[in-house]
Structure 1
Amino acid sequence: MEQERSLRQWYTELSELAPDADAVAKRRRGYDFEKVLKGLLESEGLEPRSSYKSPGEQIDGSLYLDGGFLLLEAKWHADPIPASTLYQFKGKVDGKLVGTLGVFISMSGYSADAVDALIAGKSLNLILFTKEDMDAAIIQEIGFKQILKEKLRKAAEEGLAFYPIVTELVKASASEPVHIERAHYDRVTGKVLRNDTQPATPTDLIIVCESDTDREVLANIVQRLLSGSKSTKKIEIISALGKISVPRIANSLLMANPEVRVLTVVDSDNDVAGSQLLLSNNIEPTNWAPIIIDPQIEEWLGLSEEEMRRLRRASRLNRSLQAVEQLDLDQLRKTDPVFDAFCREVLSA
């Protein structure tokens, strides 16, 4: 128990390193994170092996789970991991024993096209973790093994390289203001992923979107909508980390909970018809609706693609949330039928 507490404290300290810290401090954080990760895996009986070299390549490590070995790579960079880095790791995994899988942990997330590019390939043998997954494993004390097993199940059943454990909950009730909270669910059992597992209360609507930034933007829009409606609702918002993953995750959610309404929110990328086909061809149940923003969600916020491209990741999110605060919801509903459809789904959930 003392080791678990110390790992949690150490991990928290690493997470609090200032974004403008010097390169030496960031390199030290990377080394320390490897130690925290090794300690976490050891504490869960996953028999980790530290970084080692095989001919012509460097492997961050490996772990043992239920009779099989998985290769491991962990990165804590300033910028999201691009598809090229994932392909490089995939190449290492491909060259090992048939059936070997890889676990990639990126504490800075993944680029917009990275996850989609990975699952669009012929074979899937990587499981992706984000910082939010590691927060859930260490700070929330859910455990790495439990999250890994959930991700492996979804990779096998749905072909998902990344399956989200973290969700934003927007809750409205008569007794307290509308608020946003973060939760972690096991979507197979419908229970909260905690050591003292308790049944999750029913959700009125699940929104699946493309990215973490979209998730935060939509959560704040939903919060504003519900604040003005005086209704009692619970709406869950999930990031798929990629457009191709949106219908797969929506399909998985609907199969597990067919009574819950699912809303898929994607950018059209200047192809509304193609986006509609992507969703409809990959979602089997009927209790869902598409929201296709043409060309992208920044259109709702009055932000240009060029402006957002100039900003760093954290600055893009802050700028987007500022735009949500300034948004005239009623006026946008009058001028944008897609936004109006989104609002009607939220308010009628």
Structure 2
Amino acid sequence: METTRIKDLLEPPESANNLWYQQRGRHFERILNDMLSKEEMAPRTSMRPSGEEIDGSFSIDHSFYLLEAKWHAKTIPASALYSFKGKVDGKLIGTIGVFFSMSDYSTDAVDALLSGKELNLILFGRQDLLLIESGEITMRDAIYVKLRYAADYGQPFYPLEVYFSNEKQTNHNIQTQNKPWSILVESEADARIIDTLFKRFHTNTNFDVFPAGGQLAVAQLAEHLVKTYAANIGVFITPISDPDVQQKVINKLEDLGLDLVVLNCDLESWLGKYVSVEVYNAMMMLSDYNGKMARRYARSADLDKLISDNPSFSELLTKIGAQSKA
């Protein structure tokens, strides 16, 4: 299979087997190498210092970066980030690790990095890489944006789509009361779920759904948007294992004056309660690859009951001018 574009590799053919997926991963690594080479970042690939496998490295001016590139069927777990961080920790002080994932990241993976004493990784997800490939932003500028956010907020993940959406608003001098809404959720999978749900409504206000990268990252991203763009923001919050930590997150978001939808379960379980028994049983026969089940629930949930049972969700819909298409 010959290709030089990430977008050409997004949809596996019906005949795809293990070899096809292995080749896709190698193509992805070569595409990244080409991106870095075109911007004169002196990439080196497949290094094995002292038996340790590293996907590669590159440089910007006099700063040096290690890279990891993954494209798996499932989201990247915390263990993969810990493993990569260990490799970066053992290198020259000041070396930064850059993890490129076309599989995105599990919610706990990004949060897990925040428990360490030193943050020396930044993370790129699928949408980030597609924006770079399409020419919306250079790799150099993308790294700068992510490093600046990591330095300001101590967060390894900053979705470039947030940067683009709000920079466009600022450039057009849109007044605060007329600004589109930013809807924040925890993960890329959650963003797809909420986007699917909101497509069932007519709205008279533009909005975008953005992933923060993790449960503990939501408050920092919200603070950044408020301080930098004075944005209108709604936030979906699902349970955090430590109730005290969750309350601190909620308190911070409330102090920022945001509109919160606080749930007592994850999004799939929340929406699943509003799907009929017949539809639910029919769906159980289908695959649940990459969060498909939750998105099916979002397309089939009883909107009237969903709205009546969840006042905070109903209030958010009212503020963005949303009405059911049904």
Which band: TM-score by shorter chain? Answer: 0.7 to 0.9
What is aligned with 1:321? 295
Output the amino acid matched with 1:12.
K
Q: CA deviation at 1:312?
A: 4.1
Say whether residues 1:18 and 2:17 are aligned partners: no
**Alignment partner, residue 213 of structure 2:** 241
In the alignment, the residues of structure 1 paired with residue 84 and residue 60 of structure 2 have an alpha-carbon distance, to the nearest angstrom, of 20
Q: Aligned to 2:82, what secondary structure does the other structure show?
A: helix
Say if 1:17 and 1:153 are closer, same or farther in 2 by CA, change over 3 A. Answer: same
Paired residues of 2:104 and 2:188 also in contact (CA < 8 A): no
Identity, % of aligned pairs?
A: 34
| Contact 1:71-1:102 at 8 Å conserved across structures | yes
Q: CA deviation at 1:203?
A: 3.0
CA contact (8 A) 2:204 2:320 kept: no
Q: Distance in 1 between matches of 2:68 and 2:32?
A: 11
Q: Over residues 71-96 of structure 1, what are the superposed CA-to-partner deviations in whole Å (9 max), with x where a residue is unaligned?
A: 11111112211111110110010011
Q: RMSD across aligned C-alpha pairs, in angstroms?
A: 2.9
Find the partner of 1:57 among 52, 55, 59: 52
Match of 1:293 among 263, 276, 284: 263
Instruction: State the partner residue of 1:174.
Output: none
Contact 1:300 1:332 in 2 (8 A): no
Give the TM-score, by structure 2 length: 0.84
Match of 2:65 in 1: 70
The equivalent residue for 1:177 is: none
For residues 42-89 of structure 1, the C-alpha deviation after alignment (integer angstroms, 9 at most, x for no partner) is: 101111111211113111111111320011111111221111111011
Separation in 2 of the partners of 1:134 and 1:19?
25
- Which residue pairs with 2:311 in the alignment? 337
User: Unaligned stretches of 5+ in structure 2?
Assistant: 276-282
Deviation at 1:140, TM superposition (A): 4.1
Matched residue of 2:321: which SS? Answer: helix
Given that 1:276 and 1:292 are in contact with CA atoms closer than 8 Å, whether structure 2 keeps it comes out as no
**SS class of match (2:98):** strand
**Local SS of the residue matching 2:320:** helix
Q: How many residues are paired up?
A: 309
Contact 1:8 1:138 in 2 (8 A): no
Letter in 2 for 1:72: L
State the TM-score, normalized to the length of structure 1.
0.79
Q: Which has the higher helix share?
A: 2
Alpha-carbon shift at residue 253 of structure 1 (Å): 0.6
Deviates most, 73-82 or 261-270 = 261-270
After the TM superposition, which of the residue ranges 232-241 and 19-28 deviates more from structure 2?
19-28
The letter for the 2-side match of 1:243 is: Q
1:160 to partner: Cα distance? 1.2
Cα distance change on mapping 1:15 and 1:297 into 2, 3 Å: closer
